Chain A
């Protein structure tokens, strides 16, 4: 794995002014290697989603920087940021945010359209077990199936980094494990660097790299030499 694919340097972010001011990130430093499965772990309010949004180029820090492959996001203008997201990132959210009047295949094509070298949509559908549902509309699918589609939409771009914000937060245990398995497969099969935000401690066991956050700072930054498959996770 390449050193320092993603670098977070002294990242600070606060919201509000005066007495209402709240420091969400209070100087955060870490690096992530290319192809790593990295989990950002922490309770509510620890700043993990804010951190993910800054890495994703949809939020900006007050100070510090994020660099990816030596490119510093803070130096980019809005257009460049859009291009950065378009070419390098895949996003999976807790809510699936699918387009209601496009079917499963078309929702995945929405991601493929953005990429210069997308994966084969049919192959992604097969990998995600969605072949039988590809002509269904989102409202005809279960929550787990909808999340598979949203993963498909993100991975079909063949992104350098897959950002997942609590992807199992709205799912039951069994489905959550299936979804984690799929993200794991994508990480292995397509070599995308995965950064996953979660508050579920159990998920750290499937990660290469675990960063624990609390009150806007990194409390632990560990590499996991004994990671297990998603299917073996218990909580």
Chain B
């Protein structure tokens, strides 16, 4: 015979459906979002990695000054690192989307018959006629170009017939030295070979290569690449066709930036999910605890009749577990469908990614189903076991308090109603504690919803003021092809040296799971004496450096600390002492005197490789400039993030209002339910509904208002910490910022949610009949 108690579960669900609807809705939403995120994440990574094989991703590419002879290519293929070489020529043309004669973007054009670095088509098809073109989907999206539209490339008009994603352009980095990709101002495209021939701009004689033997790891790949590069330089020079550019695949930002970014840790959002599941588990635990109190004599009778504690624990556990399973199943269904699409759209709004198929995600299953069930199970098990610990007799006598208070708590000489309210607070302390925890949690999420866009906006707005020079030009070489030093007539120009080193993220210094990513890239600047841009004291010792405030804030470095920087691909380490901090939040940077710089890094005295300038430098040949850094470059990342995530934050804020209202609704409902008998009794005594509401709702209101403010302060501090942990996983730095208006709004949103709940509470109080207090007196 099946335990007849199980029949109570569907009836309980039905009788209190509005409560369970809210709880299940919560779970579906959270589990769905997390599941969608992981499924989207795993599907996208699987698509990227399978695309690398299916679409023949190169192992690297190089550009020669002119077309290579067959002999040169044969020679190159047959050096100590054996490679297959493919022609992969392109042209950089200007793209005019709106036919206003102005260049809207630089468009890089490849031929449709290429067998290496192929494209995945997200919409439409490859060009078949000479008047057709397929362009990057992300760029088309940003520039609002649709299939069927006509764009002007150089002097030729093309009809867009396909939106694609090249396997080697998952982010639109025009040059590998670009600080950030630019999917607005740069585009990649495919035309037929004859259309390619008809274009007029210079052909870039770019060749892609693949190794015959697949390198086992990145170190071997770096070795292969170094050897091949040396052979390449030597042979191309001997052939009178000097090398213009060389990029091994593992260093190619355009193909590696997106996967490494997508692959980043998603722990922070899972933690938010677990906190919420924890809150729901506590709501359940409190509800069950109240039910146990209410059903005390029934439990006593069942125990007296021979029901074991285990059977009753299983019985009371079944509801939260069933609800979690329902939430997990429906949440996962949504996760694998709608939310996966949302997650993928977030990626698609950021990067030029290929189309992807749904893949099963074990991580999603563990994080959205196993862990929530585990949390729900153990939190409830703990509370229920604790509650059912008493003897059957105690249950029969409705005597459930473990510790009996000797005397009633003395209250100050306030008015009767004020003291009554205080008594209600004390009586419902555990419920209010969960309510407070919930409020803090909501405030934390609101700080996230308001703070992240605020931080992005703030960073964008202040980026230009963060720059110590409006223009930074990093040169390919301090001397031009003729061996002359590259100079400029710009008055404000000042020489500097720079190089990239790596700073190891210290696993022990940060919370485990955070800061455990790759090493941080640090720009080391060699600054001229009496610089107009960076003021360094003249008395710096050889091992003393100044660091940027971003570096200091990100890794909690202070004056006197020692930092160890190392070369990325060489076994060379440099040790410096932090002598001071320079207010610069634009990047992770180290500053030292230029002479010292040249000395430490074995460069010629007076050597340099760049110019700071307040104005644009126009008299240096672009061929000699490796990178130009302006405020716009620094804000590219925030512009892109704002573009791809802006809408999501608006939705997220509204979801949070609903969430906060729902959470307060559940907890306030528990408080009113628990006090049903008392409310009924004061009704019998003649209290009006309004007075009763002032007693029960006002107590909750006071708690909510007080803890909204406290919760905000805690949430803000927590968010600052979480944000810092999050930034530690990424390269670069920007601080968490929240505007005053957002601070007020984050509190107001929660209170607006509460106003709705208190109206529902008032109706609920009105509906409590007077006979509740008179029934079941035993």
Question: Are A110 and B5 in contact (CB-based, < 8 A)?
Answer: yes
- A168 CB to closest chain B CB (Å) equals 15
**Interfacial chain A residues near B11, Cβ < 8 Å:** 101-102
Question: Are B301 and A58 in contact (CB-based, < 8 A)?
Answer: no
**Interfacial chain B residues near A113, Cβ < 8 Å:** 1-4
CB of A83 within 8 Å of the partner chain: yes
Q: Report the nearest A residue to B14, measured CB to CB.
A: A101
- A74 CB to closest chain B CB (Å) equals 15
- B111 CB to closest chain A CB (Å) equals 73
Question: Are A58 and B305 in contact (CB-based, < 8 A)?
Answer: no
Question: Are A114 and B392 in contact (CB-based, < 8 A)?
Answer: no
> In chain A, residues 147-178, which have Cβ atoms closer than 8 Å to a Cβ of chain B?
150, 153-154, 157
Residue of B2, B309, B393, B776 contacting most chain A CB atoms (<10 Å): B393
Q: Report the nearest B residue to A78, measured CB to CB.
A: B309
Question: Are A106 and B4 in contact (CB-based, < 8 A)?
Answer: yes
Q: Which residues of A contact B (CB under 8 A)?
A: 53, 56, 58-59, 79, 82-87, 89-91, 93-95, 97-99, 101-102, 106, 109-114, 118, 150, 153-154, 157
- Complex Cα gap A99–B300 (Å): 12
Question: Are A82 and B308 in contact (CB-based, < 8 A)?
Answer: yes
> In chain B, residues 270-329, which have Cβ atoms closer than 8 Å to a Cβ of chain A?
295, 297-298, 300-309
**Interfacial chain A residues near B8, Cβ < 8 Å:** 99, 101-102
- Complex Cα gap A91–B298 (Å): 12
- A151 CB to closest chain B CB (Å) equals 12
CB of B7 within 8 Å of the partner chain: yes
What are 6 A-B residue pairs whose CB atoms fall within 8 Å in the complex? A58-B393, A86-B305, A91-B305, A99-B295, A101-B15, A111-B305
**Interfacial chain B residues near A58, Cβ < 8 Å:** 300, 303-304, 391-393, 396
Closest 7 CB pairs of A and B: A86-B306, A97-B301, A85-B306, A109-B4, A95-B778, A58-B392, A101-B11
Question: Are A154 and B305 in contact (CB-based, < 8 A)?
Answer: yes
**Interfacial chain B residues near A110, Cβ < 8 Å:** 4-5, 302, 305
- A19 CB to closest chain B CB (Å) equals 16
CB of B12 within 8 Å of the partner chain: yes
Residue of A98, A112, A113 contacting most chain B CB atoms (<10 Å): A113
- B610 CB to closest chain A CB (Å) equals 78
> In chain B, residues 1-56, which have Cβ atoms closer than 8 Å to a Cβ of chain A?
1-5, 7-8, 11-12, 15
**Interfacial chain B residues near A89, Cβ < 8 Å:** 304-306
**Interfacial chain B residues near A59, Cβ < 8 Å:** 391, 393
Question: Are A53 and B393 in contact (CB-based, < 8 A)?
Answer: yes
Question: Are B305 and A102 in contact (CB-based, < 8 A)?
Answer: no
**Interfacial chain A residues near B300, Cβ < 8 Å:** 58, 97
Q: Which residues of B contact A (CB under 8 A)?
A: 1-5, 7-8, 11-12, 15, 295, 297-298, 300-309, 391-393, 396, 776, 778
- Complex Cα gap A53–B12 (Å): 31
Question: Are A109 and B1 in contact (CB-based, < 8 A)?
Answer: yes
**Interfacial chain A residues near B302, Cβ < 8 Å:** 110
- A109 CB to closest chain B CB (Å) equals 4
Q: Report the nearest A residue to B306, measured CB to CB.
A: A86
**Interfacial chain B residues near A97, Cβ < 8 Å:** 297-298, 300-301, 396, 778
Question: Are B304 and A102 in contact (CB-based, < 8 A)?
Answer: no
- A197 CB to closest chain B CB (Å) equals 13
Apart from A58-B300, A86-B308, A110-B5, 4 more pairs, CB < 8 Å: A58-B393, A86-B306, A93-B396, A157-B305
**Interfacial chain B residues near A99, Cβ < 8 Å:** 5, 8, 295, 298
Q: Report the nearest B residue to A115, measured CB to CB.
A: B306
**Total cross-chain contacts (CB, 8 A):** 85
Given A58-B393, A83-B306, A113-B1: A106 in contact with B301 (beta carbons within 8 A) = no
Q: Report the nearest B residue to A107, measured CB to CB.
A: B4
Given A58-B396, A95-B778, A101-B11: A112 in contact with B305 (beta carbons within 8 A) = no
**Interfacial chain B residues near A157, Cβ < 8 Å:** 305-306
- A196 CB to closest chain B CB (Å) equals 15
**Interfacial chain A residues near B393, Cβ < 8 Å:** 53, 58-59
Q: Report the nearest B residue to A94, measured CB to CB.
A: B778
Question: Are B306 and A98 in contact (CB-based, < 8 A)?
Answer: no
- Complex Cα gap A109–B3 (Å): 8
Residue of B1, B15, B304, B306 contacting most chain A CB atoms (<10 Å): B306
Q: Report the nearest A residue to B11, measured CB to CB.
A: A101
**Interfacial chain A residues near B5, Cβ < 8 Å:** 99, 102, 110
Residue of A56, A83, A99 contacting most chain B CB atoms (<10 Å): A99
Question: Are A106 and B305 in contact (CB-based, < 8 A)?
Answer: no
**Interfacial chain A residues near B303, Cβ < 8 Å:** 58, 82, 85
**Interfacial chain B residues near A98, Cβ < 8 Å:** 298
Residue of B15, B304, B392 contacting most chain A CB atoms (<10 Å): B304
- A123 CB to closest chain B CB (Å) equals 16
Question: Are B4 and A82 in contact (CB-based, < 8 A)?
Answer: no
- A20 CB to closest chain B CB (Å) equals 13
Residue of A56, A83, A94, A114 contacting most chain B CB atoms (<10 Å): A114
**Interfacial chain B residues near A154, Cβ < 8 Å:** 305
Question: Are A91 and B778 in contact (CB-based, < 8 A)?
Answer: no
Given A82-B306, A114-B306, A157-B305: A95 in contact with B1 (beta carbons within 8 A) = no
**Interfacial chain A residues near B7, Cβ < 8 Å:** 102, 106
Contact of A112 (CB < 8 Å), options: B1, B295, B307, B391: B1
Given A58-B392, A101-B12, A102-B7: A114 in contact with B307 (beta carbons within 8 A) = yes
- B460 CB to closest chain A CB (Å) equals 58
- Complex Cα gap A113–B1 (Å): 6
**Interfacial chain B residues near A95, Cβ < 8 Å:** 297, 776, 778
**Interfacial chain A residues near B1, Cβ < 8 Å:** 109, 112-113, 118
Given A82-B306, A101-B12: A93 in contact with B3 (beta carbons within 8 A) = no
- Complex Cα gap A157–B307 (Å): 12
**Interfacial chain B residues near A111, Cβ < 8 Å:** 305
- Complex Cα gap A85–B7 (Å): 23
Q: Report the nearest A residue to B299, measured CB to CB.
A: A97
Contact of B304 (CB < 8 Å), options: A79, A83, A85, A101: A85
- B292 CB to closest chain A CB (Å) equals 13
- A15 CB to closest chain B CB (Å) equals 12
**Interfacial chain B residues near A153, Cβ < 8 Å:** 305
Given A101-B15, A102-B8: A91 in contact with B3 (beta carbons within 8 A) = no
Residue of A59, A89, A90, A101 contacting most chain B CB atoms (<10 Å): A101
Given A59-B393, A101-B15: A85 in contact with B305 (beta carbons within 8 A) = yes
- Complex Cα gap A58–B4 (Å): 23
Given A53-B393, A82-B308, A114-B306: A93 in contact with B301 (beta carbons within 8 A) = yes
- Complex Cα gap A59–B393 (Å): 7
- Complex Cα gap A91–B8 (Å): 22
Residue of B2, B4, B778 contacting most chain A CB atoms (<10 Å): B4
**Interfacial chain B residues near A101, Cβ < 8 Å:** 8, 11-12, 15
- Complex Cα gap A125–B483 (Å): 109
- Complex Cα gap A99–B315 (Å): 13
- Complex Cα gap A114–B5 (Å): 12
- Complex Cα gap A111–B2 (Å): 12
Q: Report the nearest A residue to B12, measured CB to CB.
A: A101
- B512 CB to closest chain A CB (Å) equals 42
- B680 CB to closest chain A CB (Å) equals 16
**Interfacial chain A residues near B4, Cβ < 8 Å:** 102, 106, 109-110, 113
Q: Report the nearest B residue to A50, measured CB to CB.
A: B393
**Interfacial chain A residues near B306, Cβ < 8 Å:** 82-87, 89, 114, 157
- Complex Cα gap A113–B4 (Å): 7
- Complex Cα gap A36–B188 (Å): 98
- Complex Cα gap A98–B4 (Å): 13
- B297 CB to closest chain A CB (Å) equals 5
